[in-house]
Amino acid sequence: MYSYKEEDINHERADDIDGIEFISLNFDADEIVGDNIHENYANQISINQFISEARKEAKPHKCYYCGQKTIGFCNSHSIPAFCLRNIALNGKVYYANNFINIPGCDTQGGINKTGTFHLLCRKCDSIIFQEYENPKNYEKIPTSIMLSQIAMKNHLKNIAKRRVENILYKKMKKNFPHFNDLCDYHIRGTELDLEEYTNDYRKAKSANIKKI
Ligand SMILES: [Zn+2]
């Protein structure tokens, strides 16, 4: 595994890391920075507002595990936070976009915003992943309980992601009618994914309950 050196700390792009070559989509500098920095900034704010509204609307009213009504959803990590702390640099981890550099998308973020989902009440989050979130269990061969908990987290993360995307495409359809067909295609895709991920989550949950 690559270990960070002191001089990497000031580097903003992962392609600066010695000995590792990353692919790039080769956007021109003006596409990345923008000809007009103010316009770019304004665009970024409106995109962020759009995504933030979709995230709010995508929040469920009930905990995905116990089914109880809740307003205070837990900031659950798909990968345990203690694992992320081991690879973080100054409290931040690199996103995949650090390698491909899509304009307008973040290249790194804090541990509390990385790989998270908001579908569970705090009580459930603190109970149902205990085997996966105990570092002592990593010295042994993973048990079937741990595997079912990993599966639950992965499916919940995907469910949360598709819920937001579904709302985003619906909002896009409303605001930009000329993208109607494209939006319908993606709305249907996110709904099919949601059905599949939800079924798989239920199977993992059932396996976890049977073995606890
Ligand atoms: Zn719950």
Question: pLDDT tens across 109-152, in order?
Answer: 999 999 999 999 999 999 999 999 999 999 999 999 999 999 99
Does residue 13 surpass a pLDDT of 90?
A: no
* Confidence bin at 4 (pLDDT 50/70/90): very low
In a domain, 116, yes or no: yes
Q: What is the pLDDT of residue 31?
A: 56
Total structural domains within the chain: 1
Q: Which two tokens stand for residue 98?
A: 């650090």
**Is 94 part of a structural domain of the chain?**
yes
Q: How far is the CA of 124 from the centre of ligand 1 (A)?
A: 4
Question: Could you tell me if residue 9 is inside a domain?
Answer: no
With a cut of 50, say whether residue 6 has pLDDT above it.
no
> Which residue from 187, 4, 182, 148 is spatially nearest to 65, judged by alpha carbons?
148
Calpha distance 130→146 (Å, rounded): 9
- Span from the CA of 73 to the centroid of ligand 1 (angstroms): 9
Q: Which range has the worst mean pLDDT, 103-107, 158-162, 181-185, 193-197?
A: 103-107
Q: What radius of gyration, in Å, describes the C-alpha atoms of the chain?
A: 20
The CA distance from 212 to 210, in Å, is 6
Please check whether residue 1 lies inside any domain of the structure: no
Determine the distance separating the centroid of ligand 1 and the alpha carbon of 72, expressed in angstroms: 10
Instruction: State the distance from the centre of ligand 1 to the C-alpha of 70, rounded, in angstroms.
Output: 8
- Of residues 24 and 120, the one with the higher pLDDT is 120
Predicted local confidence at residue 176, as pLDDT: 87
Query: pLDDT digits over 140-154, tens only?
Result: 999 999 999 999 999
CA–centroid distance, 116 to ligand 1, in Å, is 16
Res 175 pLDDT > 80: yes
Please give the distance, rounded to the nearest whole angstrom, from the Cα atom of residue 202 to the centre of ligand 1.
14
Question: Is 77 domain-assigned?
Answer: yes
Whole-number Å distance, alpha carbon 132 to ligand 1 midpoint, is 18
pLDDT (tens digit, 9 = 90+) per residue, 161-174?
999 999 999 998 99
Say which residue, 89 or 41, is predicted with more confidence.
89
What is the 69 CA–ligand 1 centroid distance (Å)?
8
On whether residue 191 sits in a domain, the answer given is yes
Distance set, CA 192 to CA 49, 65, 145, 162, 199 (Å): 26, 21, 28, 10, 11
Residue 93 lies in a domain: yes
Asked if residue 7 belongs to a domain, the reply is no
Å from CA of 34 to ligand 1 middle: 45
- pLDDT number for residue 8: 45
Round to whole Å and give the CA distance between 169 and 184.
8
CA of 159 to the centre of ligand 1 (A): 16
Per-residue pLDDT tens over the stretch 52-103:
899 899 999 999 999 999 888 999 999 999 999 999 998 999 988 888 887 7
**Separation CA 13–CA 124 (nearest Å):** 38
Quick one: tokens of 64?
């995905």
Tell me the residue range of the domain where 68 lies. Answer: 16-211
160: three-class secondary structure by DSSP: helix
Examine the pLDDT at 36 and tell me if it is beyond 80: no
